[in-house]
Structure 1
C-alpha cells in the first residue's frame, strides 16, 4: 500500500500519549555529531552504541553512597544485564566485582581483569563446571540448595587449594513460592553441614533474591539476614557479609510525563488495539533511583527497629554486597535501527525497521518498552507536524513489534531514516537476541569522548 501524502495530523495533546526519556547529553552528542548516521551506513544494519563513562559515573555514585552512610560495601555488576566487555572492564577499573551465573560469564570476567575473589556466582542449580571454576578461583558462591552445597564441599575437598567461599541463599518469607533460596529447615541443615566441613568451607553469610523495586521490603529482609549472621557466628561460623542482590530502580522519565502517560494511554493508542496491563509495565519513573535509591535503602529503618539499616550493618560489622545491573547501566547506551518501509493504516503508519524486537527485549515479557524512540530523518527538512506510527520488525511474525504504541513523531518516518531507542543498555539490548531469519546480531559500538565535537568509537571486545 502506498503511503498517502505527508499531511500533518493535529490531534489534541492527549490523543497520542508520549513518554520522553530523560535528557542525556552524551546520546544527544552522538546524534548531533553525525556519528549515529555514519555508523548506520558503515555497519549496514541495526547497532547498539555504548557509553561507558555513564557506567563509571553510576558505579562511583553507588560507592560514594556506601561510604557516606558509613557502610563497608562492595558492588558487583550483574553481567547478565549486558554482555558487553567494556562494562566488565570498567567494573574492574573502578574496584567493583561481577555477578555471574555461567562458566562463560565467569571466564570472561577473569579475562577482562576481574579477580576471582571479586566475583559472585548466583543462579539456581549451577553447572558443575561453573562450581569447579568458582572454587578454583576463590569466587563466592551463593548456594541455592542443599545438594549444591554438597557439590561445593566435595569440590573443595578434591581440589585442596583453598576453602570454598559460600553465602547461603534465603527464601524470602514474603515470597514463599519463589524458586530461589532455602527455607528455615534447609538453612538449619546447611549451617550444620558448613560446621561439619570445617576449614574446607568458609560460610561468609547470607543472600536473597527479591522481586520488585520497593526499598522497605529489602531493608526488612536485610535486617533479618543480619540476625541470621549473628546467630551463625554464635555457632562458630564467620558470617560477616550479606548480599541484597539487585533491584535498585532506574528512572527513565520524569514524574509528570509518567503520570500523564499512564492516565491517558488506552488500547486505541496501540496498533491492532493491543492491550497491556499497566502493572506489567516497568516503573519508568521512580522518585529515587540508582545511587539515591541505595542511599534511601541504607537510611531506611527495618521493621521493628528504630535504627537505620546502615547502623545495623555497622554495629554488626557486616559487609554489604550489592549486585545491580540495570542501575549501573542507566544512560549507558542506546539502540539504532534504520527504517526500511512504511505503510498507511487507518490514520497512522506502520513502520518496518531493519531489525527485530529480539534486540529490544521488553516486548518478550508481555510488556512494552515505553520511552519514545527518536526519529533521525535522512531528509534535512521534512514536513513538520504530528505523524503517529507503530514500529514493526523485519520478520514474518505478526507479533514481532518493537513498538505497538502509535508514537507521535514530529516528522513522517521514511525509508532511510533512523530510529534511536534511548537508554537500552540495561537488559534491552541483548537478553533475548537471536539470529532469527539469519539476520546478524546488532554489533555493539563503544563510544568514547562524548564531550568532544567528534566522539571516537570502537567495536566492543566481547568474546564470541
Structure 2
C-alpha cells in the first residue's frame, strides 16, 4: 500500500439508475471544458427529458379518458428553460410569488395557463394575477375577500379561483380551509356574482402516497357538485404535486437502508432512514398519476377516472420534481484531497448551498460520479470519500457519507451529482464567501459535440 494511502473500507453503495445521456456527456469531454470556463461548479440541464416527462403525464390522462392539465411547479427549479418548454407545449405553470409570475409571463406562458398557489398572497401578486387571467388557489377567507375586492375595482374580468381544502387526514397543515370556512367561502363567491368565477377546489398534501390523493380528490368532486347547485362553475379540481421520483433500484435502496450506520459518515454523522427522501419509489411520476386515477375513492364505487368523466370534472396537477426527473445534474471540481483513517475528505469548488438536500437536514444519497480528465475511471480499488464544501463551516458537507468512488480522487477531477434538477440546484443557493452562484447550462443537443448555452435565467 502506498504511503498515506488509507486502507480500503467497505461502505454501503447507492448508485443512481443508469443514464445513457449522461454517459454521452461525460464521454464528450465537455464537463472539464465547462468547469475550466466557469471556474466553479455548474449545473447542466436536459430539456428533452422535461418534454418526455410532460408527455408521459399527458398520456396517462389520455389513456384514462380524463380531461386534465399539467402545471409545472416552478419552485422546483428557477431555470428559464422550463418556462420556455411550457410555453412551447402550451403547458401550465404553478407559481407562488410575484417574481415567479413575472418570470413565467416574461418567457411566454399565457396568464390563462398559470395557477397561483402559496399561502397569504399579497395584493400586488393578486392584482397581476387578476389582470392576466390567472387561476388563483385561495387559501383563506381573508385572501378571498382581498381577491373579490380587487375584482370589484373595475378590472373588466372576473377573478378566476379555486378554493383550497384543508386535508382531513392532515388537520395540522397550515394550507387550506376547513368545512366551516369553505361553506363561508362558497357563500361569499355566490354573493360576489360576476366578479368571481369559482372554478373548483384544490388541496395540498404532504408526502408521496397515492391513496390519500385518490380519496381527497373524490371528496373534491363531491364538493364541486354541491357548488354547482349554488350556481357556481366548479368544474375542476387540483391534486397538487407529490409525485415521487425513482432515483435507484429497490435492491440498492433496501440494502442501503439496512446497512447504513453512523460509522459510514464523516464525523459519525447520524441519519435515520426516515430522514431521507424515498430515493426508490415503486410507483413514480406519471405511473403514480395512473395509480391515483385507477383507484376507487374511499366510500365510492367507481374509479376516480370514471368519477371525473361522469361528472365532467377536469383534473389539474402541479408536479415539479417529477417533470424534472433525469433533466439535469450538478458538477463540482475537486480542489483538495485530505487523508483520514479509512477514507478521504475531498474539498470541492462550491458549497452545500448548491445541493439543497442539506436544507432538509438530510443528505442527497444518489452517488456522485467521478470524472477524470481522461473520462470515466476504470480499475483501481474502491476509495471511500466524503465531500466537503469550500467554506469555513464544519457543517458545509455536500456529502457526509463515505461514498465508494471507483478510484482515488485527485485534484482536478470532477464529481457529477446525478438527477439534481428537482429542488436540489437552487432551493438553497447563496453566494456565501462571495463565491458565484453556479450557472445553469442548457444542453440542446447531445452527441460527440454537445450544443450548449447559458440558461436565460442564469444570464440575467
Structure 2 counterpart of 1:418: 414
Alpha-carbon deviations, 1:237-266, whole Å to 9, x = none?
110000000001100001111111111111
Matches within 5 A, 1:12-51: 15-51=10-46
Q: What aligned pairs does 1:58-73 form with structure 2 within 5 A after superposition?
A: 58-73=53-68
Check whether the contact 1:9–1:386 (CA below 8 A) recurs between aligned residues.
no
Structure 2 residue aligned with 1:280: 275
Distance in 2, matches of 1:158 and 1:266, equals 61
Quick one: structure 1 residues 227 and 417, their matched pair in 2 at CA, closer, same or farther if it must change by over 3 Å?
A: same
Give the whole-Å Cα distance in 1 for the aligned partners of 2:290 and 2:217.
14
CA distance in 2, matches of 1:306, 1:144: 30
Q: Are residue 386 (structure 1) and residue 370 (structure 2) matched?
A: no
Instruction: Provide the residue aligned with 2:439 in structure 1.
Output: 443
Q: Which residue of 1 aligns with 2:204?
A: 209
Residues 8, 383 of structure 1: 8 Å contact kept: no
> 2:5·2:339 contact (CA, 8 Å) conserved in 1?
no
Give deviations 1:45-86, integer Å, cap 9, x for gaps: 100000000000000110010011000000000000000000
Question: Per the alignment, in what secondary structure is the counterpart of residue 153 of structure 2?
Answer: helix
1:324 aligns with 319
1:399-430 Cα offsets, whole Å, 9 max, x none, are 01000000011111111110000000000000
Alpha-carbon distance, 1:9 to partner: 4.5
Please give the alpha-carbon distance, in whole angstroms, between the structure 2 residues aligned to 1:460 and 1:6.
43
Cα distance, 1:277 vs structure 2: 1.7
1:243 aligns with 2:238: yes
Q: Per-residue deviation at 1:378? A: 3.0
5 Å-filtered alignment, 1:394-405, equals 394-405=390-401
What is the alpha-carbon distance in structure 1 between the residues aligned to residue 72 and residue 426 of structure 2? 16
How far apart are the structure 2 equivalents of 1:199 and 1:145?
20
Identify if the C-alpha distance between structure 1 residues 306 and 9 changes in structure 2 by more than 3 Å, giving closer, same or farther: farther
**The one of 424, 428, 437 aligned to 1:428:** 424
**In structure 2, distance between residues paired with 1:257 and 1:5:** 33
**CA drift at 1:304:** 1.6
User: Which whole-Å CA distance do the structure 2 matches of 1:246 and 1:379 have between them?
Assistant: 41
Q: CA deviation at 1:159?
A: 3.2
Secondary structure of the structure 2 residue equivalent to 1:158: coil
CA distance in 1, matches of 2:63, 2:192: 38
What secondary structure, in the 3-state scheme, does the structure 2 residue paired with 1:430 have? coil
Deviation at 1:5, TM superposition (A): 3.8
User: How far apart, in 2, do the equivalents of 1:42 and 1:127 lie?
Assistant: 41
Structure 1 length as normaliser, TM-score? Answer: 0.96
Pairwise CA distance, 1:8: 7.5
Taking the TM superposition and a 5 Å limit, the aligned residue runs for 1:246-285 are 246-285=241-280
Are 1:182 and 2:191 an aligned pair?
no
4+ residue runs over 4 A deviation:
6-11, 379-383
Q: Tell me, in whole angstroms, the C-alpha distance in 1 between the residues paired with 2:16 and 2:47.
A: 19
Q: Are 2:350 and 1:355 equivalent residues in the alignment?
A: yes
* Alpha-carbon distance in structure 2 between the residues aligned to 1:34 and 1:333: 17
Asked if residue 192 in structure 1 is aligned to residue 187 in structure 2, the reply is: yes
> Quick one: distance in 2 between partners of 1:138 and 1:209?
22
Distance of 1:40 and 1:10 partners within structure 2: 30
Report the CA distance between 1:7 and its aligned residue: 4.3
Gaps of 5+ in 2: none
Distance in 2, Cα, partners of 1:77 & 1:226? 23
Q: Is the 8 A contact 2:6 2:339 kept in 1?
A: no
TM-score w.r.t. structure 2 length? 0.97
Alpha-carbon separation, structure 1, partners of 2:392 and 2:72: 36
Describe the SS at the equivalent of 1:120: strand
Partner of 1:222: 217
Residue 8 of structure 1 contacts residue 386 of structure 1 at CA under 8 Å; is this kept in 2? no
Displacement of 1:95 in angstroms is 2.0
Does structure 1 residue 119 correspond to structure 2 residue 114? yes
**Bigger shift: residues 193-202 or 453-462:** 453-462
